[in-house]
Each structure stands twice: as structure tokens, then as C-alpha cells.
Amino acid sequence: MVNMEVLLSGIKLDNPIIPASGTFGYGAEFAEIYDINILGSLSFKGTTSEPRFGNDTPRIAECPSGMLNSVGLQNPGLDAVCKYELPRLAQIYRKPVIANISGFSLEEYIACARAMDEQEQVGIIEVNVSCPNVQHGGMSFGLTPEGAAEVTKAVRAATGKPIYIKLSPNVTDITEIARACEDAGADGISLINTLLGMRIDLKTKKPVLANKFGGFSGPAIFPVALGMVYKVYEAVKVPIIGMGGVSSAEDVIEMMVAGATAVQVGAANLVNPYACKEIIEDLPRVMDRYGIERLTDITGAAH
């Protein structure tokens, strides 16, 4: 009998599979088709202080082996999430969840972190540092070690819960940023967020997305994500949640061998709503095939 349990900052997960933020909502739609309590955890939709309608449409574009999205952090806002969405989530999912928070200023990150600190079901706070910093000309906090560290310190001071900083791959050296986050008090690193890309409509000769650019996700980015997880594992001592193009149990094992302790599944949920369920059910077969008895034994085995 294989053992799929993993330990993430003191929180025991029955398996390493976590739906990625923005691809699973608050779980309700998926709970209608299968018991989502089979999941290791789930990272619910990114939360900002105020409600956000998101970017103009069209904001989704298909690509070979992936997709572009420019949703723009659409969410009902911090108050609604805490008052309505999380109580509903608690009725259908009994395990600790991951709260993904975003902000356009340090004050917004702090407000979101403090609110999530008070939510009993939230076990980990995942901090998206890919948002434009309105106080510094729109540059994302996560594009520099200094900016990422600044957010990490602010959130660290606002909560006693484990914080994982979700990093953008659209940088020169992701290891420098990961180290800066670790030094600033991060308990873990989540990577990678989407790659920047675009599509052009040949009939109109204009970008398909209203926002012109969007985040590229799906199987095509898996090798990029895997390489960055491998590099960051050698750069930091804190745990890593790996993500980016994961769509099979084999991908999960590969991501863990590269250095991930747990693995998030994103775009695959949008193509196949049973993706996480099928990966979890297939993990024992893949573990047997490669002689793996316990998943905790393989994190970083490639190093």
C-alpha cells in the first residue's frame, strides 16, 4: 500500500494535489460532480480588498497545448469572501484550505492577510506578488527581490499563519526573488504563475484579448515550471508548491522529484473538471510503476 501523505508547513495533506487558485472557484461547482474532500487541499479564488469585475472581454484565448487568460482578478471582495464564500466552502470541504490573496498596495495585502488570519479553515496564505504595484508605476511587486521581500515582510507581520509567496516566471532570475522572500520570512514558495503572452486575430489584425496580453498556462509551460522549481529548490530551504502545466500523475511525480512538496493543478481543471480526481486516483499506479512507497521520500530526488 503506497503512502500519498505529505506535510506542508505542519499541515498534513492526504495527498499533494491542490487545485490552483482561479481554476476551482470556491469548490461549489466541482462538489456537485465529485467529493472534493479527496483533494489534499485547495487554493480558492484570489481575493482583493474590494470587489473586482475583472478585465474587459474577450479575456480568454485558446492556444496550442494551453490557453491565455486575462481575467483580471475577478472576485467578490474580501468582506464577501469571508462572510459568504468561506462559510459555504466549509460546508462542502472539511480540510484546511489555502487562501490566495492579491493587492495593488502593501496596505491591501496587509488587510487581506489580517482577515484570512481570522478564518479558522485557512491553513496557509498564498500571496500573489504578480499584481501591479500602483504606488510604483504599475510594476509588479514580484519582479524584483526588493519588491517581493517588501510584500513578504508586510504579510509576515500581519499573520501568524504560514505564508507562501507565489512567484511570477516573467523575471530574469527567479532564484534571487525566492531567496529574498525566504529571508523576509516566507514559510514557503509557490511557483510558477502564468507566462506573459498574446494572440492576434489574423482577420482583424488585432490582439484577441481586450487587454492585449494575458497569462499563458497549460501543458506547454510544464518544462518551464519544472526547471524553475528545480532551480528554486537548490536556492531555498523552505517548502515549494510546484505548479504550471501539470495534467497527469506522472507530471506530479516529476514536479516532486524536481523539488516540490505539493503540487497545484490549474488549467487542466478548465479542460476536464475531473482532472484532480483522476490524478489522485492514478497516483498509486504511477508510484507502483516507479517503485515509490512514500511520496515524502521523493521531494528533491533529482538533486
Cα distance between residue 243 and residue 144, in whole Å? 21
Cα distance between residue 271 and residue 279, in whole Å? 14
Catalytic residue among 112, 131, 181, 276: 131
Q: Which of 3, 2, 15 is nearest to 261 (CA)?
A: 15
**Which whole-number Å values give the CA distances from 14 to 3, 4, 41, 97, in the listed order?**
9, 6, 9, 13
Residues 38, 284 contacting (CB under 8 angstroms)? no
Continuous H helices in 134-248: 145-158, 174-183, 222-235
**131 catalytically annotated:** yes
Give the 3-state secondary structure of residue 236: coil
**Which whole-number Å values give the CA distances from 82 to 117, 119, 260, in the listed order?**
11, 7, 30
Tell me 148's DSSP state.
Answer: H
Q: Name the residues annotated as catalytic.
A: 131
